[in-house]
Chains A and B, each alone.
Chain A
Amino acid sequence: MSGAGHGGLSLQLLRIGRDAGRRSEAAGTRAAALALSAFAVALCLGLMAMVHASYAGKELRRDARTPVGLTEQSPATRATLWLVGSDALKGKRLFSVVFIAPHTSNAPLPPGVDRWPGPGEAVLSPGLLKAGAAEGIAGRYGKLSGTIGQEGLDDPGEWLAYVRPAKGMKADAPIEAVVGFGPRAGMPAEGLQPGMGRDNDKPEWMFQSLVIGLLLLPSLVLLFTALRAGAHGRDRRAALVDALGGLRRDRALIAVGEAMRPVTWGALASIPFFAVAAFVDVRVPFVGYVTSSADVRQHGWPLLLTPVAAMVTALALAAISDQLAGRAKGTRPANASRSRRQRYLAFLCAPAVLLAGRGPELAGDSTQYRTWISWIGLALVVLTLPAAVAVVVAKLGGSLERTGRQRGWAGALIAGRRISHYPAATARLVTGVTVALIVFMQALAWQAMFGTYHAKMEEILSATDRRVAEIGPRGTVSTREAAAYLESIPEGNVPVVLAPPRAADEGPITISGGCVALESLRLPCPPTPARVDVALDRRLQQLLQWNTEGGTYLKVVRADHAELAEQTVQSTSTLAVVRADGGVPAVAALKEASYRAYPRGAQVRFPGEEWLADGIPDREQGRWIRLFGVLGMGILVFAIGLGAKAEFLRQGRGLAPLTVLTGGYRVFRSSAAWAIVAPLALAALAGCVVAAWTARPVARPGMAYVAPDGLMATAVTVVLAVSVVMGLWAARIAGQQARNWRA
C-alpha cells in the first residue's frame, strides 16, 4: 500500500476504518448484519413514507368524490340523484353500494365513472369484482357496464358499487340530488360520502406507531447488534485512538468508515422494492391490501430519501455506539467496563417498566394518549434494559466464577469469568430475546384488542348455524314488488314472515308462510290461524330473539305468496327465508333477486349479522399487526443469531488454547451452557413477565389484555429450546476453532 495520493485527514480516517472493517474479527458476520439491518431500516422508513402517501392519497380522493348537495344557491341545471346503501360479501366487511340516476341531462358522474350506466346496470370496483366473483357479484346489481377507475377509489383494492336502478329514482328523501363532487363543486356533504374507509381505517398515527414499534424498533435493535458485533476489539481500538491523541471526531470517522460500505449496500438494496411499489400496485401478502402506485408517485417523495436516511441513521448510530465505548483509562488493555452511566441506566429500567405497564392508566380513556405513553414506556424499557441486564449478568457472572472455583467446575469458572468481565455480550443476547418477547406480546395484545369484539360476536353467533336469512328491502316497496321478489326466490328456499304483537308486549307473535316453510320450521300448518306450543326450531328461535320483543305466544298462519307480500311491505314485519331441507339459504341468489325485484335491493343477512359485521374491519386491521409482528420477530431473531455468532467466534478464539490441556471438548460445552444457555433461560422467564406486563395497557378501556398461560408457557419453551440450540452452536464453533488452533 502506498501512502502517496492520500486525501484529507477525514478521508484517510474513513479509509482506515474501511480497511479495519475488512480485517477485524467477525468482519464478514458484521458486514452481513450491517447490510441487512440498513436494508431493514430503509424498508421501514420507506414503509412509513408509503403509509403516509397512502393516507394522503386516500384523503384527497375521498374529498374529490364527496358529493355536493343541491341547495337553493346551487345552479340546478345539472344534478344526479344519489343514495348510499351498503352490502356485504359472505363473512366479509360491509361496502358501499351507491344508487345513482341522472336527475337532469348532463348530470355529473362520480370520479372514476366515465359514462352513465344504463338503467338496471352497475359499475363495480375491480377489487369487488375479484373478491365477489364466487358470489356472482358481477350480476348482483344488474348488468355490469364497467369498472370504477382508480381515481374514484380509496385504494386500488376498495370494494364499491355504483348502481343505476332499472326503474329509476325519485328525488324524495332519503334520496338526495347532488350537483357535483369534491370541494371544487361547492360545499361537500360529508354525510353523503360513499365508501367505508373513513369509518373503518385507523388513524395514520396509529398505523405509523405499529410500523415504528413492530418493525422499525426491531430493525434498529438489529442495527445496534450488528454494530456491536466484535465490539471488544473495536472498543480497544477506540481506547487506543484516544490514548494516541485522537478526538471523538476521529474515532467517529473510523467507525463510520468501517460501517460505510455494508450500510450503503444494504440501504441501496431497498431501492428496487420501492421502485416496484412506485410503478405497480402491490397486493400485500396475508393482509390483501393493494398499494397504490399512483399515491407512491404523487405523495411518496420522501421514499427517495429513505435509503439516504437509513444510511445516515446507521452511520450516526455507528459513531454513537463507538463513543459509548468510553475513553482510555490506562496504558494497558481495559477489562470490564461497568461505567457509572450504565448503573444509572440500569436503575432507570424498573421505573421504565412501571411506566410502560401502568403509565397509560394516567391518560384515562384517551386511546391516543394511552398508546403514546405505552410506547414511550416501551422505548425507555428497550433503552435501559441492556444496562440493567449487564449489571445483573456481571453480578451473576461473579457468583458463577466463585462457585466454579470452589467446586472445581471448569466450565462455570470460565463462563463466570467471561460473563463478569465482558457482560455486554451476554447482555446483548439476553436483551435481544427480551425485546423479541416484548414485540411478540405487543403484537398479540394489539391484535387481541382489534379482534376481541369480532371474536366474541363469532362465539355468540356460531350457535345460530346461520341457516335462516332475513330480507330487508331498502326504502319503501310496493306489494307488487314484494310479490315479484317472493316469486323470484330460488327453488328450495321458502319464505316466512314474522310479525310482532299488535299491542306492545302483548298478544301473539305471528309467523306466516306456506306449509312447506312452516313444516320446515317444525311448525304445524293449520287451515286457520292457530296458537302453537311446540318446541321451537333453532332457526325460529334465532329469528324471534333478534327481531321481536314481548309477545305472549306464537301464532301460525298459513299464507300464500300474495298474502306474504302484503305483510312484507309493513315496516314492522320481517321477511325470512329458510331452506325446505333445513340447509343454508342461497344468500347470494337472494341478494341478486332483491336487486331485480326492488328498486334498491334488500339487505340479506342472517340474524345478528350486522353486529358481527361491525367487528370485521377491526379484525382485518389486526392482520397488519400479525404481519408486522411476525416480521419484527423475524428481524429480531436474525439480530440475535448474528450477534450471537460474532460473540461465539470471539469466545471460541479465547477458549481455543484450552485444547492443549484437555483431549476432549467437554469444557467448551459446559462453558457454553453456563455462558449462553443459563442467561437465555433466565431471559425467557424474566422476559415473558416483562413482555406480558408491558402489554397490559394495550386494551380497550376497562378490558386489560392478559397473556394466556398456554401462550406464555409456549414462549418460554421456544426460548429455552433456542437457548439450547445456541449453546450447542457456540460449543461447536469453539470446538472448530480449537481444532484449527491445534492445526
Chain B
Amino acid sequence: MSNSDTGPAPDPVLHIQDLNYSVRDRTLFKGLQLSVSAGESVAITGRSGSGKSTLLSSILGLIKPHGGSVRVTGADVTKLRGKQLAKLRSETIGTVFQFGELLPELSPLDNVALAALLSRSADRADGYRRAQELLDELRVPRAETTEELSGGEHQRTAVARALINSPELILADEPTGSLDPDATARIAELLFELPRRRRCGLVLVTHDVEVAAQADRVLRLEAGLLVPARVREAVEA
C-alpha cells in the first residue's frame, strides 16, 4: 500500500463488473458494477434483504457469484481458490463485522494478533507488537477476554483486527449497528479516516444516515444494481 498522495491515479482497489447472483427465486445482483479507488470510501445502503451483506461476502470470496468478476487489487476473487484466496483475504482485505465477531475465548490482543498470524506476510512475527500498538492507538483497554469490553471497545478491537495487515481494502458490515450514538460517531470517524490516512479503499454497509453521510460516495442497492443516492433518500428507501 502506498501512503503517497501524489503520482498517477492507481488502479481501483475494488472493481466489480456485471455481478450476477440469486438465491432460490430471488435475484440479488443483476449486472452489478462497482469501482472503489485507494483512499476512497463508499457507503452502501438499501432495504434489509437487498443483498448488501451478500455483496461483501462476494468480495471476500465467501460465496461464488453466478456471473461477472470481482477484482480486488487486480486479482479476480471469483477465480481464486484455496491458498490464493486465503492469502488475498488475509493480506489485502480487512473486514469489520456487524457484531465485531471477536472470539470470546481470546483476549483482544489475541483476536487482533490472530489476523496477523493468519496472513503470510513477512512481519507476522511482529504481529503481537503491532496488535498492541493498534489497540493502544484505538484506546482499547487490556483485558483477558473480549467479554470484558464495552460495545464500542469491542468494535474498535474489530477495527484494529481489520487494520493489522495494512489492507488495501476495508469492508465493514453494519459496523455501528449495535452501538449507542456516541460510540457510533467515534467508530464512524475512525473508519472514514482510514482511507485518507492509509490510502486504502473502504466499502461500508449501513442503515445509519449519519454514518453513510460521511462517505465519499453513497450508493443504494436496489433491484440488483448499485445506484447513486442522496443520503437521506437512500437510507429512507
User: CB within 8 Å of B: which residues of A?
Assistant: 1-4, 6, 8-9, 12-13, 16, 19-25, 27, 233, 236-237, 240-247, 250, 327-333
Whether, in the assembled complex, B90 has its beta carbon less than 8 Å from a beta carbon of chain A, the answer is yes
Whether, in the assembled complex, B138 has its beta carbon less than 8 Å from a beta carbon of chain A, the answer is no
Which of B40-48, B81-89, B186-194 is near enough to bind chain A? B81-89
With contacts A13-B117, A237-B103, A240-B101 taken as known, whether A245 is within 8 angstroms of B129 at the C-beta atoms is: no
Which of B30-38, B120-128, B218-226 is near enough to bind chain A? B120-128
Closest 9 pairs (CB-CB, A-B): A3-B128, A245-B90, A245-B89, A23-B105, A24-B105, A246-B118, A20-B105, A330-B57, A245-B86
Cα(A249)–Cα(B72), bound, Å: 24
A231 to nearest B CB, angstroms?
A: 14
Other-chain contact of B129, A4, A8, A22, A331 (Cβ < 8 Å): A4
Question: A245 to B119, Cβ gap below 8 A?
Answer: yes
Chain A: which residue is nearest B98 at the CB level?
A332
How many pairs of A and B residues are in contact by the CB < 8 Å rule? 111
Name the B residues within 8 Å of A250 (CB-CB). Answer: 117-118
Chain A: which residue is nearest B146 at the CB level?
A23
Cα(A446)–Cα(B125), bound, Å: 58
B170 to nearest A CB, angstroms?
A: 13
A318 to nearest B CB, angstroms?
A: 16
User: CB within 8 Å of A: which residues of B?
Assistant: 53-54, 56-57, 60, 62-63, 82-83, 86-91, 93, 95, 97-99, 101, 103-107, 109-110, 113-115, 117-119, 124-125, 127-129, 131-132, 144-145, 161, 171, 173
Q: Taking each of B97, B114, B171, which has the highest tally of chain A beta carbons within 10 Å of its own beta carbon?
A: B114
With contacts A245-B118, A329-B57 taken as known, whether A3 is within 8 angstroms of B132 at the C-beta atoms is: yes
6 new A-B pairs (CB below 8 Å) besides A16-B106, A329-B62?
A2-B128, A23-B106, A243-B89, A244-B115, A250-B117, A333-B101
A-B contact pairs, 29 of them (CB 8 A): A3-B109, A3-B128, A3-B132, A4-B128, A6-B125, A16-B110, A19-B106, A19-B107, A20-B105, A21-B105, A22-B105, A241-B118, A244-B114, A244-B161, A245-B88, A245-B91, A245-B93, A246-B90, A246-B118, A328-B62, A329-B57, A330-B54, A330-B63, A331-B57, A331-B95, A331-B97, A331-B171, A332-B97, A332-B173
Cα(A240)–Cα(B114), bound, Å: 11
B75 to nearest A CB, angstroms?
A: 13
Cα(A247)–Cα(B84), bound, Å: 10
Name the B residues within 8 Å of A242 (CB-CB). Answer: 62
Name the B residues within 8 Å of A332 (CB-CB). Answer: 53, 97-98, 173
A382 to nearest B CB, angstroms?
A: 31
Question: A331 to B105, Cβ gap below 8 A?
Answer: no
Question: B114 to A16, Cβ gap below 8 A?
Answer: yes
Cα(A27)–Cα(B98), bound, Å: 26
Cα(A24)–Cα(B104), bound, Å: 7
B99 to nearest A CB, angstroms?
A: 8
Name the A residues within 8 Å of B83 (CB-CB). Answer: 247
Name the B residues within 8 Å of A23 (CB-CB). Answer: 104-106, 144-145
Name the B residues within 8 Å of A243 (CB-CB). Answer: 60, 62, 89, 95
Name the B residues within 8 Å of A21 (CB-CB). Answer: 105
A585 to nearest B CB, angstroms?
A: 75
B67 to nearest A CB, angstroms?
A: 19
Chain A: which residue is nearest B130 at the CB level?
A3
Cα(A20)–Cα(B101), bound, Å: 15
Chain A: which residue is nearest B164 at the CB level?
A244
Name the A residues within 8 Å of B171 (CB-CB). Answer: 331
Cα(A20)–Cα(B106), bound, Å: 6
B89 to nearest A CB, angstroms?
A: 3
Name the A residues within 8 Å of B62 (CB-CB). Answer: 242-243, 327-331
Question: B89 to A3, Cβ gap below 8 A?
Answer: no
With contacts A4-B128, A329-B62, A331-B53 taken as known, whether A245 is within 8 angstroms of B87 at the C-beta atoms is: yes
Chain A: which residue is nearest B124 at the CB level?
A9
Cα(A12)–Cα(B113), bound, Å: 10
A246 to nearest B CB, angstroms?
A: 4
